[in-house]
Structure 1
Amino acid sequence: MKYFPPHGASISENQAANLRNDRHTTEAAAMTDANYSSGPNMPASIARDIPDVAAIRQKFRNGYLPLTQQAFADGLGIPVKTLRHWEQGKRKPTGAALVLLRLVDREPALFEKMRKSWDQREMIKQVG
């Protein structure tokens, strides 16, 4: 008889249940906490490299003050709510957004180009 953990149980608990009840299955044995140390859908090597979004934003200035969350989100082309969740640690950037943040972190001039591009698009919308 198979053991089914209660609803809401973490992946690690599900994997542990599989290992306890089906020790002979190599697939279950391969799915251990070591393989998912950073969460079920993210390899450990990627999780360690998630940048500090607030620190990246602080690099950019509007005069003497750092950019607001709204201005930084507009420059990246993302909703400000998403940026806030990243900065507060409620969510982590993934996929293309993660790559974009890494690029902006390494090449600040790239962000300035993107920001000018968004500004030009807004001006065209207003004129048109």
Structure 2
Amino acid sequence: MDTRPGQRCSFCLKPEEEVAQVVAGPGSCICDECVALCVQIMAGPRRPPAAEPEVPRWSTMTDEALLDRLPLVAAAARQVEDALAGWVAECRRRGASWARVGTALQMSRQAAWERFERTR
């Protein structure tokens, strides 16, 4: 897959300028550092699923650290939203109705149109 300027890792939220490489997928990206961590985790013993997600450890973060992270999470959300808009635009280009798009996204035709019409 290709990478585009301004992308950030969907897992650690680092911008591509802070890592060696970013691989883009449909609506998400992963950096080489997170891939290496995934390989390390997958090579280790299987662990039972945690009751709560381990990353980030909100209980150990200060309010300031949480607030500093908000723009990074928002940027990752925009990245996913932009990719979704591209998929919707392609469905519409191929002739899919707003009703079918809405059904696929589990929303009404009207809600799909209102959310994505201006992104075409």
TM-score exceeds 0.5? no
Q: Which has the higher helix share?
A: 1
The structure with the larger Rg is 1
Q: TM-score, with normalisation over the residues of structure 2?
A: 0.31
Q: TM-score, with normalisation over the residues of structure 1?
A: 0.30
